[in-house]
Amino acid sequence: MDDFRYIRFLDEIGLEDLPLVGGKNASLGEMYRELSAEGVRIPNGFATTVAAYREMLEQSDTLGELHAVLDGLDADDTVDLARRGALARDIVYKVGLPDAVAVEIIAAYRQLQVEYGVDVRLAVRSSATAEDLPTASFAGQQDTYLNIRGDDALLEACRRDFASLFTDRAIHYRVEHGYDHFDVALSIGVMKLVRSDLTASGVVFTLDTESGFRDVVLITGSYGLGENVVQGNVDPDEFYVHKPTFSAGHRVVLRRTLGGKAVQMILVDDDEGRTTRDIPTPRLDRERFCIDDAEVLELADCAMRIERHYNRPMDIEWAKDGVDGKIYIVQARPETVSSQRPAAASEHHVLDDVARVLVMGRSVGDKIATGRAHVITDIADMAKFQAGEVLVTDATSPDWEPVMKLAAAIITNRGGRTCHAAIVARELGVPAVVGAGTATTTIKDGTVVTVSCAGGDIGCVYAGAVPFHIVRDEVDDLARPATKIMLNLGNPELAFKTSFLPNDGVGLARMEFIINEYIKAHPMALLYPEKVSDPQARATLTQLTRGYPDGETFFVQRLSEGIGTIAAAFWPKPVVVRMSDFKSNEYAKLVGGLDFEPDEENPMLGFRGASRYAHPAYAGGFRLECEAMIRVRNVMGLTNVIVMLPFVRRIKEADQVLERMADFGLARGSNGLKVYAMCEIPNNVILVDEFAKRFDGFSIGSNDLTQLTLGVDRDSDLVAFDFDERDDGVKAMIRMAVEGCRRNGIYSGICGQAPSDYPEMAEFLVEVGIESMSLSPDTVIATTRHVLKIEARERAAFKRSAAQQRPGFAGRHAHPTLR
């Protein structure tokens, strides 16, 4: 059949045909037609036009019957909704397909059999005319049928697909978004089924779904057909790729997380008519990533091409074919939640106390909520759910949406950050913890719980009502002061979100946080596991490094991905990374650390910082740290990273460490590398002119500088009253350090808490002409406003005094805004 009235093949349709074939099919046709030549691979297929749907409804009195069932519906009455939805679907299904439509569907199927072979398996999906729009996705509202073969099976799937326009979830969604049921029509998409049942599939977002950060591609994947990832039935693997450095030629995965991948969906043909089923994923497959780096990067490239074509963030489904080994894009729709989040205000939730953790999982959003847990193990019990309760269930599907919108928070046993529960929670603006494993058995029905997603990627469910508060700040009109305001940051999971704060980069990224949280093992233990005496520690090392060729690779990759995530979040602003500053007692607490650390009476003044790097006992560990930094800068292309050395006691020690770094390939000046030193020892200030010959900048660590200037143990409660950064002696040290940096033409900054805690210290630092203050994220906005007021006052004073500077203001004319 050459001319079709009710059928269009993908090469015949594009975005302009949305009213004809619905959003999903229009998007597939657009990509097939416009992006295939760019390497974006789309399986061929065809779509029924809305004329086929209208033709079906015009048979007998179908429209009248549907009106009688749906008019006057209260969509929030879940019992009534279920009753009316079932009646509506039954009406549409019984009408059947018009003969002319059925004939054309079979004829189009024959053309696909010519292209792909007579045994080609099909995917049959719905595409509504109010679906996959830039402002409302409507994704997953209708049904999908996989592994369809044969004329009768295809026509039956099409009948059921037409009827699925009236699923309970689709009816509720239309009512909630103000769409008339009878203004929306359905097109059916029929495509070659990509045999991802033999390999893997997943979802790609061209932004970070939690923060809305747009400079990354987030790729999720699991074994088997993609429905499990889309519906949230598995905890998938996750990968991030940084767009700017990828586009510049640095083809490398920024960060990866191994998911549980407990089950996989495969194809079946059984006597009961089932076409798919879930089977357990073998243990060895669960413990490795479902796709390799080359495939991650191919997906990132496709996603970026799709995003450029549509000129907006996208939500993309992919599948790898187990027969030809190629990756296919099987859907792309506008991302409609994170990309539309307003950025004018800064809001973050902060826990005020701690409590017993019941379960943990992937966090969705960044909020905290408290409520009474309502555990639902059967969808039939949804009607019992009350507004303001915390929904606890195994996993959700679109059928759960009527109750999800009533929930204070959502907790699921299964799912990853791109699962159904996560997508809906983001859309609703409620916190969710997904993939929590044992939530439905650990959390007791009716008990009060607190759900916190404010700590990064890991969400926690606490017993009881844990107090918390919300910090809100309007930041859209905040000017930039002449004094650079930077951030102290250690947790990569918070980097994307934190980057939205007004800032000039990261003045202190703590390497030890990444080692402690993401590596957990002592670097020397990873290098020499045979020297670890504790059998349990050796077993833990084996578990930590599974999936990696050796402990060295594990350490370098994990550390570089953590640092790289922070650097990517703030690219191209400077990110100052301090090499590890654990004390020996802290290093000893890492897995295997007891066999490599001394027992010191005063670790604060012992084997730490530069002395450790220059010592043979830690030479291997320092080499790994340097290799991670090299990977971040040279392989990942994140050259905005600056290396900083802590606790450099003596000039000779500085020379030794810099020489050791150069031996390892991390030479100052190589590929533009800057090396800073912490200024936290009085000797750093006394010999500032000599230290300045060896380093590109000083970052004043006010905590240690105060401790060593005043001779006060900052960890001792007995003398805590004597620890004060505002002491005249400490301020004199800071002034000399800043003036010494200026005299030698190197950078000066401070990364202690003093300017955050004491407004008068911020004023003092502005007066002495420090170049930057690095602050904890929760104080950035308030301190920025304070610094702006100080600088405005200084400008006014400077203008009044004309050329003559008042005492204490030496060097402030170096700030262009104060001239």
Lookup: tokens for 14:
């594009």
Query: Does the structure show a pLDDT above 80 at 812?
Result: no
For residue 164, give the nearest of 186, 181, 179, 182 by alpha carbon.
Answer: 186
Highest mean pLDDT (candidates 378-382, 447-451, 606-610) = 447-451
- How far are the Cα atoms of 26, 49, 354, 799 from residue 15, in angstroms, in the given order? 5, 14, 51, 60
DSSP letter for each residue of 380-399: GGGGG--TTPEEEES---GG
Q: Side chain identity at 430, as an amino acid letter? A: V
**Catalytic position from the list 172, 348, 349, 420:** 420
Query: Does the structure show a pLDDT above 50 at 816?
Result: no
Q: Supply the pLDDT for residue 661.
A: 97
Q: Which residues contact 177 (CB under 8 A, 6 or more apart)?
A: 136, 138
Query: Where does the pLDDT of residue 74 fall: very low under 50, low under 70, confident under 90, or very high at 90 and above?
Result: confident
As to burial, measured by CB atoms within 10 angstroms (0-12 exposed, 13-18 middle, 19+ buried), residue 39 is exposed
Q: Supply the pLDDT for residue 349.
A: 87
Query: Does the structure show a pLDDT above 50 at 387?
Result: yes
The pLDDT tens digits of the residues spanning 283-295 come to 999 999 999 999 9
Q: Is 11 helix (H, G, I), strand (E, B) or coil?
A: helix
Query: Where does the pLDDT of residue 819 fall: very low under 50, low under 70, confident under 90, or very high at 90 and above?
Result: very low
420 flagged as catalytic: yes
Query: Where does the pLDDT of residue 589 fall: very low under 50, low under 70, confident under 90, or very high at 90 and above?
Result: very high
813 flagged as catalytic: no
In the chain, pLDDT over 70 holds for what percent of residues? 93
Cβ atoms within 10 Å, residue 55? 17
- Contact between 734 and 702 (Cβ < 8 Å): yes
Mean pLDDT value across residues 44-55: 94
Q: Which residues contact 415 (CB under 8 A, 6 or more apart)?
A: 232, 233, 234, 235, 362, 395, 396, 421, 422, 434, 435
Mean pLDDT over the full length of the chain: 89
Q: Supply the pLDDT for residue 269.
A: 79
Query: Does the structure show a pLDDT above 90 at 454?
Result: no
**Rounded Cα distance, 817 and 819, in Å:** 6
**Catalytic position from the list 290, 348, 751, 786:** 751
Between 350 and 420, whose confidence is greater? 350
Q: Which single residue is written with the structure tokens 């490599």?
A: 596
CA 721 to chain centre: 42
The pLDDT tens digits of the residues spanning 614-649 come to 899 999 999 999 999 999 999 999 999 999 999 999
Lookup: tokens for 204:
């790609």
Q: Are strands 327-334 and 237-242 parallel, antiparallel or unpaired?
A: unpaired
Cβ atoms within 10 Å, residue 38? 13
Q: Supply the pLDDT for residue 324.
A: 94
DSSP letter for each residue of 593-662: GGGT----S-GGGSS-THHHHTSGGGHHHHHHHHHHHHIIIIIS--TTEEEEE-----HHHHHHHHHHHH
The pLDDT tens digits of the residues spanning 369-382 come to 999 999 999 888 88
The pLDDT tens digits of the residues spanning 161-199 come to 999 888 888 888 788 778 888 888 899 999 999 999 999
Between 819 and 161, whose confidence is greater? 161
Query: Does the structure show a pLDDT above 80 at 752?
Result: no
Q: How many CA atoms lie within 13 A of 343 on its CB side?
A: 15
**Rounded Cα distance, 335 and 809, in Å:** 51
For residue 699, give the nearest of 646, 767, 742 by alpha carbon.
Answer: 646
The pLDDT tens digits of the residues spanning 684-731 come to 999 999 999 999 999 999 888 988 998 887 666 676 677 788 899 999
**Rounded Cα distance, 357 and 530, in Å:** 35
Q: How many CA atoms lie within 13 A of 813 on its CB side?
A: 9
Out of 44-53, 528-537, 718-727, least confident range:
718-727
Q: Supply the pLDDT for residue 396.
A: 85
The pLDDT tens digits of the residues spanning 308-343 come to 999 999 999 999 999 999 999 999 999 877 766 655
